[in-house]
Structure 1
């Protein structure tokens, strides 16, 4: 049996442009994302794509979603296997490939989770549970690019 959940986001953008050359119009890419009951999120394009580098961009948010979802899935599988997680951090990286025609896509995400657990006898099991966490991760299951894990676990 499956369940469907609907997530909603409202995007708001107003046309503000600047003429860079007489025939070229460049749009400012800053916009607002509104999700009911939450603070507005101001988003732009990445600096490489002429956005505001001080703001989050869609690429940041995709990587953040993936690393966050993996951690929550990992904490779930650890709890199911009697492993007490004391801390978790990750310095994730994503590679975006952009073709000559301007289209692009993520080709790989690398997760580097550093986990501290209570039970030293369960370190190997805790490392292996990253595979199960990836299988359960909603965001990972929605991606069409390679996701690689380089976990370290200590007690």
Structure 2
């Protein structure tokens, strides 16, 4: 993968101008759609604190979700290579944004990982550090991304 360039195309479609457009801060809608070829659209808006629709995804949630998903994908990859068997993975990630600074200050990932009974928990814990170093999204942000994993044991079903 070294040296390869990857391209990503996303269209953000906004049609919330109504009759008055952006004549004032409260005069336009924040709703939009994120689109990419061959994929379901994502209904987006601003955070409700910025007059957005609470029922739609906002950019801040998408950023936190991107960090969580990237970490998880690398983590599962590294576990597969290391012989650590993950049976389930659920992350309750949280992001902190300082509106006065106009930026995120931290994101904390809190994955709950179910391991089979034969996998090393210490090795599973160690692989989070490696996943963090490989995560493209975490490497692209200028704030701390922490990880506080919790592990559960389960016997793998061999049926």
Calculate the TM-score normalised by the size of structure 2: 0.87
| Deviation, structure 1 residue 46 | 0.5
Q: Provide the rounded CA distance (Å) in 1 between the counterparts of 2:44 and 2:24.
A: 23
> 1:147 — aligned with what?
145
> 1:8 — aligned with what?
9
Q: Provide the rounded CA distance (Å) in 2 between the counterparts of 1:88 and 1:31.
A: 30
Structure 1's unaligned 5+ residue stretches are none
Whether 1:65 and 2:63 are equivalent positions in the alignment is: no
8 Å CA contact retained: 1:31, 1:44:
yes
Q: Provide the rounded CA distance (Å) in 1 between the counterparts of 2:56 and 2:20.
A: 20
Q: Provide the rounded CA distance (Å) in 1 between the counterparts of 2:106 and 2:59.
A: 16
8 Å CA contact retained: 1:18, 1:25:
no
Of Structure 1 and Structure 2, the greater strand share is in: 1
The 5 Å alignment of 1:81-92 reads 81-92=82-93
Q: What do you get for the CA RMSD once the two structures are aligned?
A: 1.8
Q: Provide the rounded CA distance (Å) in 2 between the counterparts of 1:17 and 1:82.
A: 60
Calculate the TM-score normalised by the size of structure 1: 0.89
> 2:133 — aligned with what?
135
Tell me the matched-pair count.
149
Structure 2's unaligned 5+ residue stretches are 154-159
> 1:113 — aligned with what?
111
Runs of 4+ in 1 over 4 A off after TM superposition: none
8 Å CA contact retained: 1:70, 1:137:
yes
8 Å CA contact retained: 2:85, 2:119:
no
For each residue in 1:79-100, what CA deviation from the matched residue of structure 2 results, as whole angstroms up to 9, or x when unmatched? 111111011111110001011x
